[in-house]
Amino acid sequence: KSKENDLPSAQLENEKGRENHLAGQEEQNLNENELKELLDDIENNREQGNRNQEKVAKKNQMDGMKNSLSNAPKFPWEKRNVQRTSSEKKPTTLEKNKNVTNINQLKDVDIPPGLKPLQRALNQSLNKSVAKNQSITSQLNDKYYVECVGVRSEVANGYLLVISPEEGPLLNDFLLDFRSSLIQEIGFQNTRMNIDTSERLTLPPVEDILSFVDKEATISFFRDHKHIEVCVAFFETDMIYEEKNITEKGMTPVKVQNVAVEKPVDFNTFLHFKKNDKFYLYIKKSRHLMKKQKEKLVDKKVEYLHVNSKDLNLLKKFIAEGFFEEKIASYKEDKLKKAS
């Protein structure tokens, strides 16, 4: 203390100033170190956050891959099922052209030139017959009813199918209006055609009747009628009853080729012998023509069997059902081949 008292006042101030300066530098160094550590911590946290985000992104990616792998078909038949399901969801040409009344606006439809008059007549008769005054409550699905109308002309023979989800007065009234309009429209087209009365057919079930019609029919239309959907389709074929003169004994001929095998008949069928002009019972009612029998008749050049004219409607129905049973069996076989 005595020495400090002895020192000049200026020197004392310098010493104190130096001490304060050193203390300030130390405090500044401490603040800079703390700031650096804080910045390092922030940077480390940012890097850690980025790494965490990358981990989360990779985890999400892996989870997505796992989900896609778990949802993907593991076996070939599962893959086929997925493909088949996706293909069945695609709308058919019929559904694309539903309620199109102008035939020139139909999409993806290729009709032989000889059948253009029939197509125009069908279109016009449908325009006159359908009535759109209610919302659709009954759609075509696995349950449906089929009415068949035979068509014969110099250009083409075949069957008109009228397919409806309901039976009863609504369908019957539509059939009457449609057939009468069709006969009138065919006359306007300057075409001669014979139009049979409709017959109710009993056919094997088809999983998707619209797809069957879309693939197999020559001409097809899909319309709304009151509260139901109606499909009208023409199938061209020569497997149809050929109008022949009825014999004096009341027998009408039917081509052997048009008699389906392994299908029970609802009538008696006869063989005609020209030598004595007599008819002999060949296939009894509720029996069926076997394949070997048909081959034998063809080998013997027997062109016709005979049926009593009173059973003519049953004969027409039998031939039509035989034709469509073969069509449906072929359609199902092709579908099964594509699936496998």
Write the pLDDT tens digit of every residue in 269-312. Answer: 999 998 888 999 999 999 999 999 999 999 999 999 999 999 99
Return d(Cα 260, Cα 51) in angstroms, integer.
76
Is residue 229 domain-shared with residue 264, that is, in the same domain?
Answer: no
The answer to whether residue 50 scores a pLDDT higher than 70 is no
The answer to whether residue 42 scores a pLDDT higher than 80 is no
Q: What is the SS3 assignment for 157?
A: coil
Is residue 159 domain-shared with residue 292, that is, in the same domain?
Answer: no
Domain end, chosen from 22, 38, 71, is at 71
pLDDT score for 223: 92
The tokens 């401490």 sit on which residue? Answer: 30
Is residue 256 domain-shared with residue 229, that is, in the same domain?
Answer: no
Residue 243 lies in a domain: no
**Residue 314 CB burial class (10 angstroms; 0-12, 13-18, ≥19):** middle
Is residue 229 domain-shared with residue 180, that is, in the same domain?
Answer: yes
Is residue 34 domain-shared with residue 169, that is, in the same domain?
Answer: no
Residue 245 lies in a domain: no
Residue 144 lies in a domain: yes
Is 0.85 topped by the overall pTM? Answer: no
Is residue 53 domain-shared with residue 131, that is, in the same domain?
Answer: no
Residue 92 CB neighbours (<10 A): 19
The partner residues of 283 in beta bridges, in order of sequence, read 269
The partner residues of 270 in beta bridges, in order of sequence, read 281, 306
Is residue 229 domain-shared with residue 99, that is, in the same domain?
Answer: yes
Residue 100 CB neighbours (<10 A): 16
Please give the mean pLDDT across all residues of the chain: 82
CA distances in angstroms from 170 to 131, 133, 258, 320, listed in the order given: 11, 14, 33, 24
pLDDT score for 245: 79
**Percent of the chain topping pLDDT 90:** 47
Count up the domains in the chain and report the number.
3
pLDDT score for 132: 76
Is residue 175 domain-shared with residue 290, that is, in the same domain?
Answer: no
* Position with higher pLDDT, 236 vs 64: 236
Is residue 12 domain-shared with residue 128, that is, in the same domain?
Answer: no
pLDDT digits (tens, 9 = 90+) for 315-339: 999 999 999 999 999 999 998 888 8
Q: In the structure, what pLDDT confidence band is assigned to residue 136 with cuts at 50, 70 and 90?
A: confident
| Domain extent at residue 189 | 93-236
Is residue 130 domain-shared with residue 218, that is, in the same domain?
Answer: yes
pLDDT score for 147: 93
Domain end, chosen from 71, 102, 127, is at 71
Is residue 232 domain-shared with residue 97, that is, in the same domain?
Answer: yes
Is residue 60 domain-shared with residue 133, that is, in the same domain?
Answer: no
Angle at the Cα of 262 from the Cα atoms of 158 and 254, rounded to 5 degrees: 45
